[in-house]
């Protein structure tokens, strides 16, 4: 049952983290307009099971007026609202309060703050920690997202279908190119399930500024600017999808085998093999494996 709609408000980000799922950076393009944002929220309201809206990116706070308007609009429609951020704006606690107080007054129900070495190095008192302290003071339910550096022993720490909150790096996006080389791996033919995403009965979807409805970063099941969310979800069948079908049947191994991908002997985790296979198929399924931003080819 679809319960959460995650809005990728922008692909732009002040950071260029090695582990980023969507290859965000200061140079990445793609940001919602206020009109498109309200259009998507109208569509979400037409799906009775959706009760949460999340704003993330990239870095959603880079477009602060748009973020505030999006939160206000979502709250007026009766949604619970969460935001994901690095807290880059919190040079001091006073700065953090200036940015967070209007959101607290709108009643956001979750603030997830990235607080790890990928974002803030080894600083003991960094912008993320200041953001968390101030958010709690303002009464905003708050948690941290802390991703451990890769150790080559696979990805742990995430329940299937749940937002990433911690654990090891998942080898999607930039992590494949920057972090995977040199790490120990597992035999490719043992990676026979998708352990992280609910592809048959999605409980959450991600929608980016281009309208792509993504079950996992870079796997689209439709475009909301062409077909409303409700109809996309009503007509979605994993078995009929050229990428999700094989992944449900036998994980990344089945996806690679189905399309004749010539794998290496080992991959760090399931995401690693899946991502490399999908990137080899971009030319074959351009409407499904999209946007190229997520594959580092924007």
Q: In what order do the strands lie in the sheet with 4-8?
A: 166-168, 142-148, 110-114, 80-85, 52-56, 4-8, 204-207, 212-216, 219-223
Residue 167: pLDDT band (50, 70, 90) is: low
- Rounded to the nearest angstrom, the gap between the alpha carbon of residue 161 and the centroid of all alpha carbons in its chain is 12
pLDDT of residue 159: 59
Per-residue pLDDT at 169 exceeds 90: no
pLDDT of residue 124: 74
pLDDT of residue 150: 73
Mean pLDDT of 204-219: 97
Mean pLDDT of 101-117: 93
* Residue 241 dihedral angles phi and psi, to the nearest 5°: -90, 130
pLDDT of residue 75: 98
pLDDT of residue 151: 63
pLDDT of residue 254: 98
pLDDT of residue 80: 98
- Scored b (16 or more CB within 10 A) or e, 116-126 reads bebbbeeeeeb
Residue 116: pLDDT band (50, 70, 90) is: confident
pLDDT of residue 164: 57
Structural contact between residues 50 and 4, judged by C-beta atoms closer than 8 angstroms: yes
Higher pLDDT, residue 15 or 167: 15
Per-residue pLDDT at 223 exceeds 90: yes
Per-residue pLDDT at 270 exceeds 70: yes
Predicted model pTM: 0.92
The Cα 160–Cα 221 span in angstroms is 19
| Per-residue model confidence as pLDDT tens digits over 124-166 | 789 999 999 999 999 999 998 877 777 654 555 555 555 554 5
Mean pLDDT of 180-201: 94
């Amino acid at each position: 049952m679809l319960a959460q709609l995650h809005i990728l408000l922008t692909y732009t980000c002040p950071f260029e983290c090695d582990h980023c799922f969507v290859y965000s950076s200061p140079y990445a393009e793609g940001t919602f307009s206020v009109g498109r944002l309200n259009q998507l929220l109208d569509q979400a309201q037409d799906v009775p099971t959706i009760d949460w809206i999340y704003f993330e990116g990239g870095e959603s706070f880079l477009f602060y007026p748009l973020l505030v308007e999006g939160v206000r609009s979502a709250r007026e429609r009766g949604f619970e609202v969460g935001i994901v951020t690095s807290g880059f704006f919190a040079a001091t606690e006073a700065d953090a309060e200036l940015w967070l107080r209007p959101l607290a007054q709108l009643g956001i129900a979750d603030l997830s703050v990235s607080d790890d070495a990928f974002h803030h190095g080894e600083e003991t008192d960094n912008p993320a920690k200041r953001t968390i302290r101030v958010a709690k003071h303002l009464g905003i339910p708050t948690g941290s997202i802390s991703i451990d550096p890769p150790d080559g022993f696979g990805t742990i720490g995430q329940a299937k279908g749940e937002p990433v909150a911690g654990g090891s790096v998942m080898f999607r996006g930039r992590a494949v190119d920057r972090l995977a080389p040199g790490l120990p791996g597992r035999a490719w033919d043992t990676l026979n399930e998708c352990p992280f995403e609910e592809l048959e009965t999605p409980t959450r979807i991600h929608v980016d500024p281009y309208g792509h409805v993504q079950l996992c970063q870079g796997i689209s099941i439709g475009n909301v600017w062409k077909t409303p969310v409700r109809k996309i979800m009503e007509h979605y069948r994993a078995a009929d999808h050229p990428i999700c079908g094989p992944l449900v049947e036998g994980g990344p191994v089945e996806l690679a085998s189905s399309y004749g991908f010539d794998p290496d002997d080992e991959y760090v985790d399931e995401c690693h093999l899946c991502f490399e296979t999908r990137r080899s198929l971009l030319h074959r399924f351009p409407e499904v494996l999209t946007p190229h931003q997520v594959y580092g080819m924007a």
